[in-house]
Chains A and B, each alone.
Chain A
Amino acid sequence: MSLSGADVRKLALLARLELSDAEVAVLGPQLARILDFVEQLSELDTEEVEPMTTALDVVNRWAPDKLHRSLTVDEALAAAPRRDESCFLVPPVLGPAH
């Protein structure tokens, strides 16, 4: 298979990555080669096989519905790139359509 530069850029946007032209040029052929390699899975007939999503033989586990100590606001915000008193500060979310 092959991935065009536009394919790689579209994928990068889905992955929220902004790649340089040089990165796009290198990644395209690398991804295509890895996808060709994993393509061999299609040789196997798995029509009747249930997908295995976990190695555990357990069903959902529910926590008891009671209060316990969690992080304080200050602890939770301590590693924020920007904050004010009680919130994470991020660039404007609303504004002119893009």
Chain B
Amino acid sequence: MSIPLDSATELLRLQAAGELSAVQITQAALDRIAATEPQISAFTHRADEAAIAAAEKIDRDRSAGLPLGPLAGIPVAVKDVLCTRDMPTTCSSKMLAGYHSPYDATVVARLRQAGAVLVGKTNMDEFAMGASTETSAMGVTGNPWDPSRTPGGSSGGAAAVVAAGNCPLSLGSDTGGSIRQPAAFCSLTGMKPTYGRVSRYGLVAFASSLDQVGPMAWTVEDAALLLQVISGFDPADSTSLDESVPNFASDVAATDVRGLRIGVLRDSLDQEGLEPEVRRAVLEAIDVYRSAGAEIVDVSLPHSHYWVPTYYVIAPCEASSNLSRYDGAHYGYRAAISDAEAAERGPLLATYCKSRDEGFGAEVKRRIMLGTYALSTGYYDAYYLKALKVRRLIRGDFDAAFAQADVLLGPVTPSAAFRLGEKTDDPLQMYLCDLFTVGANLAGIPAVSLPAGFTAEGLPLGVQLQAPPLQEARLIRAGAAFQKLTTHHAQRPTL
């Protein structure tokens, strides 16, 4: 039988019915990975042997009648920004090449506990800084819909492996859109949960007040399965929220949107640079919801124009601070210094500076420099403090909008997937890709990208739903309703 590597829900059903074993599923995933990697290069590490061993244990447990976790026997890939004790964790950086974490990230431990079979780590922009996975030191990843284009970023590998049919689920991280934008570029469902909903323990820090781990899958139903497993309080993360987690499966089933107030972000539809086909996809999504009985209201987020500049102060400031830990002393890359270099700056300073120069790529250095500038004496108030104040205005806009609407609907990205190399020479152009996504990170609210159709060229398009803090259930309800009424999420690339 053909093995449906595009549906965790279906794989769970087939195992429960005794029609497939975890080993059969895992072997099929590994074969598919071997077949597509030459075209998309989405993995930084493949864990074939460990995956088979984990699958064998699931099958043994099943035959012994032992209780099984909610993801038993499901192949899952993990973005290489999450610590794993049995695989390298590189953040796609030379700085961490070959690094092995002594512990698992909490989300990784929860995946193992749930019976998931970890098939490997996925490529990303270096330290999650980028929107195309091209800043990776581990090579460029292709989009399964068109390998000459980017899968998006920074969770580009995590998106590509699901879109390529390698495995039904992956974990990404989203600091400014890094789950939602690749999901849109690859026709997937990708969710950034509320800040604090999912533990960040063992997520290598980029911008700690914005980072959040989240699920990527073809469907809302599958994404909800994974979200269920990773959500919830973790005493090891002091920013993790001690709030109960609803049973998302009931929200997947409750697809009646009659009376749901959908706030349409009209300003975003008139945004300069928004491609007409993306606009059309959003307008069509509005029609789908209206026909299903949702109430459509216009809302505005008056400071949305300031999202990107606010983000590109706060995120680099936090990054420059977080990445100061890479000093060539405790772990990671250490450059060899010559006697002349040691004499010039002193051996310790020379080691710091040279290790960081050789270990970090251009985009990471750019952001460290930006953050260092904005935090330096004399500039702190004008840049960092100013951005923190504007951040509050941005959050206030969302609070006001959610008084009028239950969820907000708008674009995810200004365009469909661009060509590899198209924007690498112009950092500011790349930053503007985050136009519609960084608001949710600054405000700390949950948001999801849903497959919403295709361009005339056959490239995926997405739409974004945003909800108030801790209202992931609303996104799941509204997203599952959309997928009941449309077939965009059922299209597959020919890779």
Binding site for B on A (CB under 8 A): 8, 11-20, 23, 27, 30-31, 33-35, 37-42, 44, 46, 49-56, 58, 61, 63, 71, 75-76, 78-82, 88, 90-93, 95, 98
In the bound complex, do residue A30 and residue B309 qualify as a contact, i.e. CB atoms below 8 Å apart?
no
In the bound complex, do residue A51 and residue B348 qualify as a contact, i.e. CB atoms below 8 Å apart?
no
Closest A residue by C-beta to B388:
A51
Binding site for A on B (CB under 8 A): 99-100, 102-103, 195-196, 209, 235, 238-239, 241, 303, 306, 308-310, 312-313, 320, 324, 327-334, 337, 342, 344-354, 356-357, 360, 362, 365-366, 368-370, 372-373, 376, 382-383, 385-393, 395, 427-428, 431, 442-445, 469
A70–B286 CA distance with the chains assembled, in angstroms? 52
Closest A residue by C-beta to B239:
A56
In the A-B complex, the 7 residue pairs with the smallest Cβ-Cβ separation, listed nearest first, are A55-B444, A91-B347, A51-B388, A81-B334, A79-B331, A18-B353, A98-B346
A54–B342 CA distance with the chains assembled, in angstroms? 41
Q: A17-B369, A18-B353 are in contact. List 20 more A-B contacts (CB 8 A).
A: A11-B372, A14-B376, A19-B357, A23-B365, A37-B431, A38-B310, A38-B387, A41-B383, A41-B386, A46-B393, A51-B385, A51-B389, A52-B388, A55-B195, A75-B102, A79-B330, A82-B334, A90-B329, A91-B337, A93-B348
Question: B239 — which chain A residues lie within 8 A by C-beta?
Answer: 54, 56, 58
> How many Å from the CB of B446 to the closest CB on chain A?
11
Question: B308 — which chain A residues lie within 8 A by C-beta?
Answer: 37
Question: A16 — which chain B residues lie within 8 A by C-beta?
Answer: 324, 327, 349, 352-353, 356
With A38-B383, A79-B332 already in contact, the answer to whether A44 and B393 are too (CB < 8 A) is yes
A98–B353 CA distance with the chains assembled, in angstroms? 15
Please classify the interface of chain B as helix (H, G, I), strand (E, B), loop, or mixed, using the class held by over half of its residues: helix
> How many Å from the CB of A34 to the closest CB on chain B?
6
> How many Å from the CB of B242 to the closest CB on chain A?
9
Q: Which of B346, B353, B365, B387 contacts A13 (CB 8 A)?
A: B353
6 sampled A-B residue pairs with Cβ under 8 A: A8-B369, A18-B353, A35-B370, A41-B313, A50-B392, A56-B241
In the bound complex, do residue A55 and residue B389 qualify as a contact, i.e. CB atoms below 8 Å apart?
no
A71–B99 CA distance with the chains assembled, in angstroms? 16
Closest B residue by C-beta to A56:
B196
A13–B428 CA distance with the chains assembled, in angstroms? 24
Question: A12 — which chain B residues lie within 8 A by C-beta?
Answer: 353, 369
In the bound complex, do residue B312 and residue A38 qualify as a contact, i.e. CB atoms below 8 Å apart?
yes
> How many Å from the CB of A93 to the closest CB on chain B?
5
Closest B residue by C-beta to A61:
B238
Q: Which of A27, A37, A42 contacts B366 (CB 8 A)?
A: A27
In the bound complex, do residue B329 and residue A81 qualify as a contact, i.e. CB atoms below 8 Å apart?
yes
Closest B residue by C-beta to A30:
B427
In the bound complex, do residue A53 and residue B209 qualify as a contact, i.e. CB atoms below 8 Å apart?
yes
With A17-B356, A53-B209 already in contact, the answer to whether A41 and B332 are too (CB < 8 A) is no
In the bound complex, do residue A46 and residue B235 qualify as a contact, i.e. CB atoms below 8 Å apart?
no
